[in-house]
């Protein structure tokens, strides 16, 4: 144990030197990328008066096609033209205010009465509200806008349509007396989260029932499969962003505020994703990463539901990496190169990996440990993709027609795959995913 503690301290020192430097490089690269986007936009605007639409389209760069499509720097006149007329009765910063707004393309007014605050953070605030016209409960996410940009979250929410992703009902903007612009996303209201459910069991000194862990993990993976198919990386999968209806146990992913369409050749910021759920390539400062970072986060959430506490707690990025190394062992040079080819620090003391059966208690399903061992691996390309996860034997209980919820109610819909979800999958994988009783 003393030798292990000494080795861990050495890992922390080595990681501090390397990770801090690489995160700085990542920030620098992202800053350069932002400057390049702005310069590209200025060049595009200059070209606008010099050629026809075809010439402009041909001249567009990869950044323009991928990034500017999502975050177009718009003129004030164009931006204001899409704002909807609205009226607010009451203090907009207090619960109880009523928002009167028009639906896109409709002449009728829609009114939302705020009921309570259900979430807040650096992004803004989320209210539970009631639509006065149909008495529907909704959530309204109010986000302060940078006036130069279209909101990436809104564009992504419009693109994603899946039963396990929170539904966008309506969106509108409003401007305050201080000329601050807010985007309001009206979303379906889902009353609970995996975080609060886990906290409830932990408070009562209980573990979350194995069936619920299975059910939530499966729905999370299925939702991400649909999101990833669009080239979108969520970049902030954590228990707080997994909504649950505790009556039906339907899970829905929410909060696409950090989400982005990833372009393989373009750098991204590495300081992304909440700490306990950050993939190791992010801690190593990678700016060219893939949707595999969401897969890692999914594995961390699954492990947390099984353990009752975070698998890799840490007070900083360095501490986080130390916790990962203590379980997975010291990464090899080749593994580090797969995570971040630009990383140059390889002076890590050698720690051997822990057996997953020793990390978890004896009564954890061995199939759960097998699945986790396929997800929480250093090399991003070696992690299971989402549909391969869903087909794993761990979820066979969900595919059993006799399985019910703990109260005897039927399971929520799990196999109503769209053609798009199953597209390009092998026949063997499709057969595993869709049980005989659900086939048409």
Which residues carry a binding-site annotation for ATP? 142
C-alpha to C-alpha distance for 296 and 283, rounded to whole angstroms:
13
Cα 420 from chain centroid (whole Å): 21
C-alpha to C-alpha distance for 298 and 99, rounded to whole angstroms:
36
- Residue 250 half-sphere exposure, CB side, CA atoms within 13 Å? 17
The length of the chain is: 440
- What residues are designated binding site? 142
Helices 292-307 and 210-229, axial angle in degrees (round to 10): 170
Check if 45 is active-site: no
91 contact partners, CB below 8 Å, separation of at least 6: 97
Residue 116 β-bridge partners: 128
Residue 260 β-bridge partners: 233
Considering the candidates 2, 33, 80, 236, report the single residue annotated as catalytic.
236
C-alpha to C-alpha distance for 316 and 276, rounded to whole angstroms:
9
Helix (H, G, I), strand (E, B) or coil at 126: strand
Distances in Å between the alpha carbon of 256 and those of 18, 232, 237, 431? Answer: 30, 10, 9, 31
Tally of CB atoms within 10 A around 415: 15
The catalytic site residues sit at 236
């Amino acid at each position: 144990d003393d030798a292990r503690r000494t080795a861990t301290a050495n890992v922390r020192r080595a990681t501090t030197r390397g990770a801090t430097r690489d995160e700085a490089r990542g920030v620098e690269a992202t800053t350069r990328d932002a400057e390049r986007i702005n310069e590209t936009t200025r060049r595009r605007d200059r070209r606008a008066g010099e050629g026809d639409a075809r010439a402009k389209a041909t001249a567009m760069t990869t950044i323009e096609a991928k990034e500017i499509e999502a975050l177009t720097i718009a003129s004030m006149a164009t931006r204001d033209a899409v704002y909807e007329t609205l009226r607010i009765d009451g203090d907009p910063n207090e619960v109880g205010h009523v928002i009167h707004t028009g639906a896109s393309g409709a002449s009728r007014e829609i009114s939302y009465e705020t009921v309570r605050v259900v979430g807040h953070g650096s992004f803004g605030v989320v209210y539970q509200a009631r639509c006065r016209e149909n008495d529907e409960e909704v959530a309204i996410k109010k986000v302060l806008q940078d006036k130069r940009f279209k909101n990436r979250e809104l564009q992504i929410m419009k693109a994603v349509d899946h039963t396990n992703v929170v539904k966008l009902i309506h969106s509108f903007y409003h401007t305050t007396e201080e000329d601050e612009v807010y985007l309001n996303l009206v979303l379906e209201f889902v009353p609970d989260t995996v975080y609060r459910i886990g906290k409830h069991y932990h408070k009562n000194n209980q573990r979350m029932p194995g069936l619920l862990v299975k059910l939530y993990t499966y729905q999370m993976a299925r939702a991400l499969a649909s999101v990833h198919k669009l080239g979108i990386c969520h970049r902030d999968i954590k228990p707080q962003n997994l909504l649950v209806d505790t009556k039906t146990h339907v899970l829905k992913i929410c909060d696409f505020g950090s989400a982005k369409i990833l372009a393989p050749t373009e750098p991204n910021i590495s300081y992304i994703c909440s700490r306990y759920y950050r993939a190791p390539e992010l801690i190593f400062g990678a700016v060219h990463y893939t949707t595999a970072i969401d897969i890692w986060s999914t594995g961390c959430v699954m492990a947390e539901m099984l353990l009752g506490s975070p698998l890799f707690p840490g007070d900083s990025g360095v501490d986080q990496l130390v916790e990962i190394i203590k379980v997975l062992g010291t990464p090899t040079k080749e593994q580090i190169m797969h995570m971040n080819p630009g990383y140059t620090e390889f002076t890590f003391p050698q720690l051997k990996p822990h057996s997953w059966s020793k990390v978890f208690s004896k009564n954890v399903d061995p199939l759960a440990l097998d699945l986790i061992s396929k997800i929480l691996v250093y090399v991003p390309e070696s992690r299971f993709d989402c549909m391969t996860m869903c087909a794993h034997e761990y979820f066979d209980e969900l595919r059993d027609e006799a399985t019910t919820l703990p109260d005897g109610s039927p399971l929520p819909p799990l196999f109503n795959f769209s053609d798009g979800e199953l597209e390009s999958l092998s026949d063997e994988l499709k057969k595993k995913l869709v049980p005989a009783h659900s086939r048409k």
